[in-house]
Chain A
Amino acid sequence: MQDKVYAGGDASSVPLMGKSAEPTIFELSAKGRTAFSLRTQEVPVRDPKETVPESLLREKVVELPEVSERDLVGHFTRLSSRQYAVDLGAYPLGSCTMKYNPKFADQVATTSGLYDIHPLTPDSHAQGWLELMATLERYVCEITGMAEATLQPAAGAAGELTGLLIMGAYHRSYGRKRTKVIIPDSAHGTNPASVTLAGYEAVTVPSNDRGLVDLEHLRKLLDDDVAGMMLTNPNTLGLFEEEIHQIAEAVHSVGGLMYYDGANLNAIIGITRPGDMGFDIVHSNLHKTFATPHGGGGPGAGPVAVTAELAPFLPGPKPALVMEDGIERYRWVTPQASIGKVHGFFGNAVVLARALSYMLYNGFDGLKAVSQYAVLNANWLRKMVSQRYDIPYSQTCMHEFVASAQRLRKEGGVKALDIAKALLDNGFHAPTVYFPLVVDEALMMEPTETESLQTLIVLAERLNALAELATTKEGQSQLHEAPVNTPTRRVDEALAARKPRLTFDQPANH
């Protein structure tokens, strides 16, 4: 008999306390109550009208919540204990990469001198920061196989827009007017959005029956109107585009550029590089691949790296090592044909420091091992659940794979959403569901490099047990009810979207 396996990433034991709803901070508010007050006797209270121009004064007092410090701390601490969090347990969420924030990177981010410097500090007084950024640019280029980079873009989507603006500037420099950008049907939703924002028409190329770009179809779409193609490799099905050289050659043959969406870069670091595949522009999601908090809205960083030919168009200013009076110094330099700034200052700078520290901590071999473990773990989990779930594209995957709950839905009415919600009751975060769109009832899983074998064993057992449950009448109704252990039960997403409540009405007794 096998001993019980204890998973490090199993959050079943977390005391998610209480079933009653936490009130909003506004409902805890009582008029006149404050969390902190200065002893004001020594400082005279002045009417704002004496010092602030009337045109700038509010007509009504702003309705902020008024709570004591004790109530404030209690409220947010209770909310934090009701969340599934990366520091609690495993997160098989697909297309999101890092699910763990290394603690040394937190320490780096709070190093005095790195975080307490004003962004307007002259470059002569910020040589350390400039050196850090120049070094990171170099490492990003080495990892992606590009010549030059900008660290400005605030995240992946900002990087996409930056890359497309560079693409446009490049074509204009040759007097070409290009109108279309090609995108596969399995692309991230941000790709067509960025293409539209950059003023291009998005043209979709379908996947073939192996889940890869249909090369013959692509060739038919290529003409003199095509500015380039955006591609994620491995793609969102977790599959490596095996014909990438032929794809790049075809796009280049009509003068188009190849754009690499770096969302899945963590599958290939140290093994291959976008530059070697034939890409011209690459964005890298530092917050997905290199030790920056994932989820919760940021902050992110989406450096864009390009070939030497495109380097003059990069946003500026960039740190550059120059010789002045026989001394080497870092200065801010703007590339000659720069598309301009894409961020107020220098991007989310502390995120950049975290990324560089992660690269240095792991070293080249370590980063390669990260990719190898990410791919190994994904393939192991894929195999372990492949009896109970259909895997529509079943070749060896990269860092993630996509299963389908289509069979469960047809046989017993249990959807991908039900499995995802029930997994929350079982100590694990839900996988990504209903993406990519080319798979029905998609369950997209990415265990990442950080989960132990024990955690993966327990995760696979729970996933398989849920599929088993979906075959019985009683199990089906249980799954439709899930989650039952979480402080908030299943929310009515459709109602929330159809009739959104976007404001909070102050209670009458406020």
Chain B
Amino acid sequence: MNLPENLRYSKDHEWVRPQAGSQVVRVGITDYAQDALGDIVFVGLPKIGSTVESGDALGEVESTKSVSDVFAPVSGKVVAVNTELESAPELLNTDPYGDGWICDIEISGSGEVESLMTPEQYADFID
């Protein structure tokens, strides 16, 4: 299972990519999540400018098996969404940590990213 070192992970199988010196983090779903979902055929993206609390439904992914919510791993404001996913939802399967990113969130509080799981903790969690 591919678990990049520089990311933090949530219990709902989202990843967060912190950037040095910025309050904006990138959010997507993990390799484990895309593998469990199977072929993803539709992604419902959040609205730019919307504010979310950690644990709120951020969007949804529909696969040939099911429809699942994507939950906000951190609280803040959605400042960018990956519109590529509208026409190419399969990017979530082929490149979940890269071109398959879902949105950027500008974090409102502090400490939320640090409270998420490290790659080692997440690996234990999904084992």
Q: Which residue of A lies closest to B63 (CB)?
A: A494
| Complex interface: chain B residues within 8 A of A433 (CB) | 65
A494 pairs with B39, CB closer than 8 A: yes
Query: Does residue A440 face the partner (Cβ distance < 8 Å to B)?
Result: yes
- Which among B36, B64, B90 is the interface contact of A493 at CB below 8 angstroms? B64
B41 pairs with A494, CB closer than 8 A: yes
| Complex interface: chain A residues within 8 A of B66 (CB) | 434, 437
Given A440-B36, A498-B89, A434:B41 Cβ within 8 A: no
In angstroms, Cα B89 to Cα A141, docked, is: 48
Q: Is the interface of B mostly helix, strand, loop or mixed?
A: loop
| Complex interface: chain B residues within 8 A of A43 (CB) | none
Q: How far is the CB of B67 from chain A (nearest CB, A)?
A: 8
A494 pairs with B65, CB closer than 8 A: no
| Complex interface: chain A residues within 8 A of B90 (CB) | 494, 498
Given A434-B65, A434-B66, A493-B64, A498:B36 Cβ within 8 A: no
Q: How far is the CB of B70 from chain A (nearest CB, A)?
A: 15
In angstroms, Cα B40 to Cα A297, docked, is: 26
In angstroms, Cα B53 to Cα A499, docked, is: 34
| Complex interface: chain B residues within 8 A of A440 (CB) | 36
Query: Does residue A21 face the partner (Cβ distance < 8 Å to B)?
Result: no
Among B36-64, those with CB < 8 Å from A are 36, 38-42, 62, 64
In angstroms, Cα B64 to Cα A494, docked, is: 6
Q: How large is the interface on B (under 10, 10 to 19, 20 to 34, 35 or more residues)?
A: 10 to 19
In angstroms, Cα B66 to Cα A437, docked, is: 8
Among A462-507, those with CB < 8 Å from B are 493-494, 497-498
Q: Which residue of B lies closest to A415 (CB)?
A: B38
Q: How far is the CB of A194 from chain B (nearest CB, A)?
A: 15
B41 pairs with A497, CB closer than 8 A: yes
In angstroms, Cα B62 to Cα A494, docked, is: 10
B41 pairs with A498, CB closer than 8 A: yes
In angstroms, Cα B41 to Cα A434, docked, is: 16
> Most chain-B CB neighbours within 10 Å: which of A434, A440, A493, A494?
A494
Q: How far is the CB of A406 from chain B (nearest CB, A)?
A: 11
Q: Which residue of A lies closest to B66 (CB)?
A: A437
In angstroms, Cα B98 to Cα A177, docked, is: 46
In angstroms, Cα B38 to Cα A494, docked, is: 9
| Complex interface: chain A residues within 8 A of B41 (CB) | 494, 497-498
Contact mask for chain A residues 107-141; partner B; CB cutoff 8 A; 1 contact, 0 none: 00000000000000000000000000000000000
Q: Which residue of A lies closest to B42 (CB)?
A: A497
In angstroms, Cα B42 to Cα A493, docked, is: 13
| Complex interface: chain A residues within 8 A of B62 (CB) | 497
A497 pairs with B36, CB closer than 8 A: no
| Complex interface: chain A residues within 8 A of B65 (CB) | 433-434
| Complex interface: chain A residues within 8 A of B40 (CB) | 494
Q: How far is the CB of B118 from chain A (nearest CB, A)?
A: 24
| Complex interface: chain B residues within 8 A of A437 (CB) | 66
In angstroms, Cα B66 to Cα A433, docked, is: 11
Q: Which residue of B lies closest to A497 (CB)?
A: B41
Among A412-447, those with CB < 8 Å from B are 433-434, 437, 440
| Complex interface: chain A residues within 8 A of B39 (CB) | 493-494, 497
| Complex interface: chain B residues within 8 A of A494 (CB) | 39-41, 64, 90
Q: How far is the CB of A154 from chain B (nearest CB, A)?
A: 24
Q: How far is the CB of A402 from chain B (nearest CB, A)?
A: 14
In angstroms, Cα B90 to Cα A498, docked, is: 9
> Most chain-A CB neighbours within 10 Å: which of B42, B65, B89, B90?
B65
Q: How far is the CB of A384 from chain B (nearest CB, A)?
A: 26
In angstroms, Cα B41 to Cα A447, docked, is: 32
Interchain Cβ contacts under 8 Å between A and B, 15 examples: A434-B38, A434-B65, A437-B66, A440-B36, A493-B39, A493-B64, A494-B40, A494-B64, A497-B41, A497-B42, A497-B62, A497-B64, A498-B41, A498-B42, A498-B89
Given pairs A494-B64, A498-B41, A498-B42, 16 additional interface contacts (CB within 8 A): A433-B65, A434-B38, A434-B65, A434-B66, A437-B66, A440-B36, A493-B39, A493-B64, A494-B41, A494-B90, A497-B39, A497-B41, A497-B42, A497-B62, A497-B64, A498-B89
By a beta-carbon cutoff of 8 Å, the part of chain B in contact with chain A is 36, 38-42, 62, 64-66, 89-90
Question: 5 closest A-B pairs (Cβ-Cβ)?
Answer: A494-B39, A497-B41, A434-B65, A493-B64, A498-B41
